[in-house]
Amino acid sequence: MSYSSDKIEKDANIFESNGITTVGFDKKKNKYFVNSANVMHRTDKEQLINILEKLRLLNTQEIRDYYRETRRSGKEKHNRGAGLGFIEMAKNSSLPLEYKITDINDEHSFFEIKAFI
């Protein structure tokens, strides 16, 4: 939600976005997944890749430690929450998060992320 280019602030800390969410089953991995996608500003691309790649390199315990550290310190804080969304997803996913960012034009990219249950 924080990276959606079309989010609309409805009220204090209440947002609406035209993102897409699907739930499915991956036969090869024999796991259920939640996949989310939305259009984002290309200016957020590098920051997003840095966050997601960092999380992909951490093991389960390191993700939990990073989550606790981030909550306590307030780092990566922005106007909605403490920047914990992707960390929370990685913490609860049974496999590393998968993502893809496809440039649409000079201003926008299409962002997809998948978490396995």
pLDDT at residue 42 is higher than 80: yes
State the pLDDT confidence band at 79, using cuts at 50, 70 and 90.
Answer: very low
On whether the CB atoms of residues 106 and 41 are closer than 8 A, the answer is no
Whether residue 3 is contained in a domain is answered as no
Average pLDDT of the chain? 84
Whether residue 91 is contained in a domain is answered as yes
Looking at residue 16, its pLDDT comes to: 56
Whether residue 54 is contained in a domain is answered as yes
Find all residues with CB under 8 Å of 103, minimum gap 6, and list them: 42, 109
Structural element, H or E, at residue 57: helix 45-57
Q: Which two tokens stand for residue 113?
A: 């992320």
Q: Which two tokens stand for residue 52?
A: 């997601």
Residue 37's domain comprises 8-116
Whether residue 1 is contained in a domain is answered as no
pLDDT per position as a tens digit, 51-65:
999 999 999 999 999
On whether the CB atoms of residues 92 and 39 are closer than 8 A, the answer is no
Q: Which two tokens stand for residue 4?
A: 């959606």
Task: Please give the tally of structural domains in the chain.
Answer: 1
pTM: 0.76
